[in-house]
Amino acid sequence: MMNKKVRKYVFSKVLDEYFSGNHKAYRFIALFFKELFKRPFHLREVINQCFEVGLKSLALISLTGFIVGIVFTKQSRPSLEEFGATSWLPSLIGIAIIKALGPLVTALICAGKVGSSIGAELGSMRVTEQIDAMEVSAINPFKYLVVTRVVATTITIPVLALYCSFVALYGSYLNVHAEETSSLISFYQSAFKTINFLDIAISVVKTIVYGFTIGIVGCYKGFNATQGTRGVGKAANQAVVLAMFLIFIEEVIIVQIANWIRYF
């Protein structure tokens, strides 16, 4: 007689795995908030991670921001010229960069660079039992590895986004300056003329959400990596893809909420 165990699923294997995966992810996020306010805070490690996230992305963000500023100005000028509205160029650039492009470009770059790096690092630590080694040494690896990294990305990415916006505006200024005589100060004044406090606040909130998303997704994928070295690559890849996907969804939701706030 066959003594084979029969596996039962609530719905199907795929659906069950989808829901249990979601449940695991929510528990991971809940654990983050639970551990966030508990001692020890590992401030030195948070600063170290901020340095890692910030400094390592700085060159790429500077270059990308600068190019985005130049290209956006070049593309917008002919359209505005058709209506004789080139004087509105700095304002248009200011709105586009500060409200949308700066935060989004920074988030996408960091999702690629920082998210994959966190996913691969933690994934590698998981498959080589370094996380278990921490655990058996009475060190809470979640607190030391996950909380510090998520806090670091949540703090650093808004700062990087702000920096990216300023570099993009500078790139834009250089392009404007090549075509017509304009001072840097008057360009920045014109760019910020149509930007109010709410716009900047929403941009900052948006980048905080992006930073949290990049950190938590990278950590979740890395911390739960399996299947040896193959799993490390998979964790890094999934960290980037999922973070980018979530960033676009969050962008839509936050813009919608921001519009509702504006009407009130």
Partner 1 sequence: MQIFKPHVINKEESVISITGLYKSFDDLDVLKGIDFNLYKAENVAVLGKSGSGKSVLIKIIVGLLKPDRGEVVVLGKHVNQLNRKELDDLRLHIGFSFQNSALYDSMNVLQNLTFPLTMNRKNLTKSEANDAAEEILDSVGLKDKLNQMPSDLSGGQRKRIGIARTLILKPQIMLYDEPTSGLDPVTSTEIIELINEVQQKYNTSSIIITHDLTCAKNTSNRIAMLLDGRFLKIGKFDEVFDTDDEQVKGFFNYNFIQ
Which CB, 140 or 194, lies closer to partner 1? 140
Residue 175 CA to residue 72 CA, distance in Å, equals 10
Distance of closest approach, residue 53 Cβ to partner 1, in angstroms: 15
Task: Output the CA–CA distances (angstroms, integers) from residue 222 to 122, 149, 247, in the order listed.
Answer: 5, 12, 19
Residue 251: burial class (beta carbons within 10 Å; 0-12, 13-18, 19+)? middle
Main-chain phi, psi angles of 19, to 5 degrees: -70, -40
Among 49, 106, 117, 124, binds partner 1 (CB under 8 A): 124
Which CB, 10 or 136, lies closer to partner 1? 136
Distance of closest approach, residue 219 Cβ to partner 1, in angstroms: 16
Which CB, 37 or 260, lies closer to partner 1? 37
Among 79, 128, 186, 227, binds partner 1 (CB under 8 A): 128
Task: Output the CA–CA distances (angstroms, integers) from residue 29 to 169, 249, 261, in the order listed.
Answer: 36, 18, 27
Distance of closest approach, residue 234 Cβ to partner 1, in angstroms: 19
Say which residues have a Cβ less than 8 Å from residue 146's Cβ, sequence separation at least 6: 32, 35, 122, 219, 223
- Residues of span 244-263 touching partner 1 by CB under 8 A: none
Asked whether position 224 contacts partner 1 by CB under 8 A, the answer is: no
- Which residues of the shown chain bind partner 1 in the complex (CB under 8 A)? 5, 7, 40, 124-125, 128-130, 132-133, 135-140, 144
